[in-house]
Structure 1
Amino acid sequence: MTASAVSADDRQTAGEDLFLESAEPPRGHLSLEEIVRPFSIEGRGLTVVDRQSETRLSYTDLATRAAAASERLRKAGVGPGTPVAMTIGNTLESILSVLGVWMAGGCVVSVPPPPRAAALQWYRSNFIPVLETMDCRFFVSADDPAELPLPAKAVALHPAALAEADHERRRVPDISIPDRALVQFTSGSIGAPKGVVIRGDQLAGHLSMIEQGMGIPDIDHEVLVSWLPLYHDMGLIAMFMTGLCARVNMVIAAPSTFAGKPSNWLTMLSQYKATMTAAPNFAYRLAASVPYDDGLDLSRMRMALSGGERLHWQTLLDFQDTAGPLGWRWEVTRPSYGLAEGIVGASSTPLLRGAVRGPGGHVSVGPLLPGNRVRVKAGLEPSPIHLGGEWLLAGYQTAEGFEARQGDWWDTGDAGFVHDGELYVLGRRNEVISLAGRNIFAEDVEAIGHDVGASHVSACAAFRDSAGDHRFSVVVEGDRSLTGSPEDAAELARRLRATVTEILGTRLTSVRVVRKGSIPVTTSGKVQRARCRALHDSGELDRRTLAELR
């Protein structure tokens, strides 16, 4: 991909608006109806891995099974335009249910799975009112209906019942997918989750754009492998739906495959002769910290997206040190940037170039993808990033109703800059402090926390102090070795505070080391800094604290 931008050196001065846009327009594409009905593709298909078993269907069989699910949904009352709330799991039954809703002409409303009892009330108050306002009368979930928080008058449908196999060849009615094809909830990293409304033609065009950027040289030998959760946009759109659009062989595994044993990711890439995959920065960090069996071969890998959170240069180096001896080439990893309000993808480094470290040691997330535009302030100082172009959301679905997007630009809430025609994203603007003319982002502190803690730290959350004294506090999750050694936990806290002071020039107000699983995360695995600050300030983390410095 290439990009063009007005030169900040020759034609603009610092502080003026600088516009970056893709130099490559989107190409023609299949309709969403054509994408979800791959009846004619016999040789390639989908493999779903569940624990120790796997199920493979050709695309023809996948479409036939989805048609059966569609018929069952229509008999239940789903018709053109009907919103169907779904907890999309990484199972064959859930995938067939998604395709079945679209084949029936319905709108897929993707919500994260209900949490455990401790956070169930938060789930009810944030998601259920939105679903009720949309008149979601159907909720597809594998959870027990008795324990499922349902909208008023909603009927629970089990994906296994919808996707039950039969041998009848079905003809799918020629039903168009409505303008409102997908509602995907934001991850809730700031404020309450809201439903991002995506049109069907936008989604189809976006999928074709991502496929175009993959530069597939030989469709018969391409294999996409992903464990990313399908209820999140990166897993559903950037991986599964794009793979379906491209008609490449796919392997979909459960997120627990990686969470339970990080080495499983690279092991699966070798096992299935993968050429494409994707994951957030934290997954590359965890994958770099574990040992691997002999004989893994990652030399077929051609593209691995890294997005969903800020990229850390040291993580890229550590991962290459681990995966390189297994055949992984540096140019395979593609730092990328996107957000649900732009469907999923806004920018990505060029295919087979590799990551680039730019001004200030920051990692480039590349030129813009076709159909995207960005507005920032000229110069290398971080400024608000505004996104424009063809893929912006139609609007938000909230508990008050539908809120249409206003204007041609969308404030992403992120800060960054443009250099040599490429975008650099530094962090969220709501978690930044200014010190001696420098901006220090929460992500800067968290990166140091992971460096200092190495494999002993599974998560790190930095947030501005509630007292407003322009300092950060930090909460880090320690592994089992720290759980059994308060002295080691205290030493980690001291080293973290000292390193942040040395590198960033700011003193942390408090450093708290807590047990694993204490830091709240979004549906995509990103830390929820605002919720973590609330838990920290209220004392709810006290009983899970291993060590604390104040």
Structure 2
Amino acid sequence: MTSSSSISTAAIAATAAAAVHAQDVDMDAVLRRRATATPDEVAMRFLRNGEDDVVDLTYRQLDQRAARLAHQLRQQLAPGARVLLVLEPGLNYVTALFAIFKAGATAVPSFPPVGTRAVSRFASICNDCGAELVIAEGSLRAAEERLNAALSAEGKVPAWLFAGADFFEALDARPEVAQGAPNADPDFPALLQYTSGSTGDPKGVILSAGNLISNSRVLDIRMGTAEKHVGFTWLPPYHDMGLMGALLLSVYSGFTLVMMTPAHFVQRPLRWLKGLSKYRVTSSVGPNFALDLCVDTITDEEVDGLDLSSLKLLFCGAEPVRQATLDRFAEKFGPAGFSSTAYVPCYGLAEATLFISGKADSNAVPHRILLDQASLAAGVIAPATLDAPATAIISCGTVATDHVMVIVDPETREPVPEGTVGEIWFKGASVAQGYLNKPEASDEVFRAHLAGDPQDGPYLRTGDLGFMMDDELYITGRIKDVIIFAGRNLYPQDIEAVAQACHPAIRTNGVAAFAVTRDDKEHLVVVAEILRSAKLNAEDLENVEDAIAAAITLSHGVAPHTVHLAPVSTIPLTTSGKVRRSACRDAFNAGALAVAKPRPTPAAAAEADTSTLLPQE
């Protein structure tokens, strides 16, 4: 339970933050204020090679860089135009983002269109948002014709601005420009954050200028103001946690953010921890998979060269946080000065801009509880016993300041008592405006009201399940079928479509993809029904398994942990013929799924039939 002292501290911090930032309507106003108040402080420090090739941007440099580019953008864009931003992570990305804000346009962050799936998703997003301009790396100029062909198949082809290193060097050489009037409308759609969802049905979350300010404010309060922070991020800036939880937060709060590309982290995770040590970082972000990667790849000798004692806040989110992972990381890096009190398990989603809840007491180890596994699976909270399997669940802390969270029965829409599992509903200034071009989905997700009280709302329906205990949130599962793997959201319908198409023996609508937890890790399972007419022998069935695994690995970069081949009618379906993935997962976990049996070859079958006529000894 949150102590009275921590509540008092949070209240004081909230009052101070509100007073300091009351004049800020959007992130451009924040940057202008920083450039005036602390022009020579380093805003962003980018490690170009992930290690010692360092380049800095002060607040004044960032503000003027962005202003020069905004001046150019205004000459070719109408107010409110949507600009797709596909630059690689780095200082140029930050410059372009704030230039879009200054130009009065709407930023649409997306990862670079490199690779077949990335191009397909890029085209879907571009078409959905009606982008008028794409700001891209100079290296993509050679692919312009191919990309335009993909775009023309989807819709209108936008203009391109290829902004490589030479472009920004020329930008820096231009004279300073007078900035236009700042935005005065907190409801202006500053950003479209596309969820990492199905490539065929992208969802653009409309985030207003006020949403960005609200989310930054509640994170700033949660960080506390006792000391000057230094941040570090390697998360991609087109991901909501990397963009809102690191980049925009650092400008809002006024601390230096050290940046590294995701590729440099994945290539050598030690670079992240060396950066934390070298720059005396106090705050960073690390999804569960990143902590596991560090433990698995960094040697004890390399740990000896680290000093992580400055790290006070390690935000853990973007995927389920595992107690076993936190324990392993703390044990491995405790000798380097890391303390478990630094962990800040948090919960959020793009529809809430980012942050919904997180650990409030920065001096405490995150709370956890042990629950009976079987009871929890049924939605009942019961303490663990010595003679039954238990599940450890980590608290995701208290709700964001000035926001409201309610645990609701998703069927009746009535609040449930504390300690009861239900759907997480959320309301407040950080809740987005809705989905672009999807009025029905927006009404369903963003306009919810509690049963019997139409005035209490609207709430955001998160689609996630959890319960409250002593004013803290515990996440238990997802209503949604999203599979989270290594910090990525994988949509089962996309995986199922790939598996369906890879072999003719698989029944139409006969594939189910879902995640299961084994040894505190999430694994992908694919169940595929084999047509009765296929008549496959044992070797043929193995070939089908191999084909499914290869196709999914190639298309999604994830190898299934298990490919389960089953006879027709094994996968549970709804009355309308849709796959019931959760029911299929339950049957798989219980070992109740039927297994496709090999059909003998005609010669073998004939031999077997003849043998039954022979005299028996």
- Look up the match of 2:454: none
Q: Secondary structure at the match of 2:258?
A: strand
Instruction: Mark the CA change 1:58 to 1:162 in structure 2 (over 3 Å): closer, same or farther.
Output: closer
Shift of 1:2: 5.2
Measure, in 1, the Cα distance between the counterparts of 2:117 and 2:345.
35
Superposed counterparts of 1:420-435, under 5 Å: 420-431=470-481
1:389 is the counterpart of 2:385: no
**CA 1:271–1:180 in 2, change beyond 3 Å: closer, same or farther?**
same
Work out which structure has the larger RCO, using CA pairs closer than 8 Å and 6 or more positions apart in sequence: 1
1:358-397 C-alpha deviation (Å, 9 max, x unpaired): 2421111011111322221325453222222221111101
- After TM superposition, the score normalised by the length of structure 1 is 0.73
- The 3 A distance-change label for structure 1 pair 513 and 302 is farther
Q: Select which of 111, 125, 128 maps to 1:127.
A: 125
Any idea what the Cα deviations from partners look like across 1:263-298, whole Å, max 9, x if unmatched?
221111112211110021111111111224232111
Query: Aligned match of 2:29 in 34, 39, 42?
Result: 34
**Aligned partners of 1:209 and 1:82: how far apart in 2?**
29
- Partners of 1:159 and 1:427 in 2: how far apart? 42
Q: Determine if contact 2:128/2:202 at 8 Å carries over to the other structure.
A: no
Matched, 1:374 2:374: no
Q: Give the partner amino acid of 2:31.
A: V
Offset, 1:205: 2.1
Give the corresponding residue for 2:249. 242
Matches of 1:139 and 1:373, distance apart in 2? 37
CA distance 1:533–1:120, shift in 2 (3 Å): farther
Q: For the Cα contact (< 8 Å) 2:358–2:397, is it kept in 1?
A: yes
Cα distance, 1:215–1:519 mapped onto 2, change above 3 Å:
farther
Match of 2:466 in 1: 416
Please say if residues 346 and 397 of structure 2, whose CA atoms lie closer than 8 Å, have aligned partners that are also in contact.
Answer: yes
Whether the 8 Å CA contact 2:68–2:174 is kept in 1: the answer is no
Distance in 1, matches of 2:466 and 2:548, equals 30
Q: Are residues 1:364 and 2:395 paired?
A: yes
- Root-mean-square deviation over aligned CA pairs: 3.6
Q: Tell me the distance in 2 between the aligned counterparts of 1:519 and 1:314.
A: 30
Higher mean displacement: 107-116 or 272-281 = 107-116
Give the secondary-structure state (helix, strand or coil) at the position aligned to 1:461: strand
Change (3 A) 1:3 1:61: same
Q: Conserved in 2, the CA contact under 8 Å of 1:189 and 1:528?
A: no
User: Does residue 65 of the first structure (1) align with residue 100 of the second (2)?
Assistant: no
Measured against aligned partners, the alpha-carbon deviations of 1:478-525 in whole angstroms (never above 9, x if no partner) come to xxxxxxxxxxxx9xxxxxxxxxxxxxxxxxxx9999689928669xxx
2:359–2:366: 8 Å Cα contact kept in structure 1?
A: yes
* Structure 1 unmatched runs, 5+: 5-21, 433-441, 451-458, 468-489, 491-509, 538-548
TM alignment of 1:227-376, pairs within 5 A: 227-292=234-299, 293=302, 294-350=304-360, 351-360=362-371, 361-376=392-407
Aligned to 1:518: 553
In structure 1, the partner of 2:132 is: 137
Query: Residues 399-448 of structure 1: CA distance to partner in whole angstroms, max 9, x if unpaired?
Result: 7899564241122111111111110112222459xxxxxxxxx9983352
Say whether the 8 Å CA contact 2:108–2:191 is kept in structure 1.
yes
Query: 1:528, 1:306 → 2: CA distance?
Result: 25
Question: Given that residues 186 and 340 in structure 1 are in contact (C-alpha distance below 8 angstroms), is that contact kept between their aligned partners in structure 2?
Answer: yes
Report the CA distance shift for 1:511/1:123 in structure 2 as closer, same or farther (over 3 A): same
> In the TM superposition, what is the alpha-carbon distance from 1:354 to its structure 2 partner?
2.3
* Aligned equivalents of 1:256, 1:533: Cα separation in 2: 33
Are the aligned partners of 2:43 and 2:59 in contact in 1 as well (CA < 8 Å)?
yes
Q: Would the alpha carbon gap of residues 120 and 69 (structure 1) be closer, same or farther in structure 2, given more than 3 Å must change? A: closer
Which structure 2 residue ranges, 5 or more long, are not aligned?
5-9, 372-391, 408-415, 449-457, 483-512, 530-541, 569-593, 596-617
Counterpart check, 1:460 vs 2:523: yes
Spell out, residue by residue over 1:203-262, the C-alpha distance to the aligned partner (whole angstroms, 9 max, x if none).
11221221111113232xx21010000001100111010001111111111111111112
Matched, 1:95 2:94: yes
Report how far residue 123 of structure 1 moved: 4.6
Residue matched to 2:612: none
Q: CA deviation at 1:122?
A: 5.2
Q: 1:423 to 1:447 in 2, by over 3 A?
A: farther
**Deviation for aligned residue 1:53:** 2.1
Contact 1:72 1:162 in 2 (8 A): no
Q: Distance in 2 between matches of 1:315 and 1:517?
A: 27
Q: Distance in 1 between matches of 2:225 and 2:278?
A: 20
| Higher share of residues assigned helix | 2
Q: 1:218 aligns with which of 219, 227, 242?
A: 227
> Using the alignment, how far apart are the partners of 2:200 and 2:323 within structure 1?
29
Q: Could you list the structure 1 runs, at least 4 aligned residues long, displaced by more than 4 angstroms after superposition.
A: 1-4, 22-27, 399-404, 510-517, 519-522
Alignment of 1:501-540 (within 5 A): 518=553
SS at 1:446's partner residue? strand
Report % sequence identity. Answer: 25
Shift of 1:118: 5.1
Q: Distance in 1 between matches of 2:321 and 2:476?
A: 9
Compared with structure 1, are the counterparts of its residues 355 and 101 closer, same or farther at alpha carbon in structure 2 (3 Å cutoff)?
A: same
In the alignment, which residue of structure 2 is the partner of 1:482?
none
The alpha-carbon distance between structure 1 residues 346 and 403, as it changes in their structure 2 partners (threshold 3 A), is closer
TM-score normalised per structure 2 = 0.66
8 Å CA contact 1:184–1:233 kept in 2: the answer is: yes
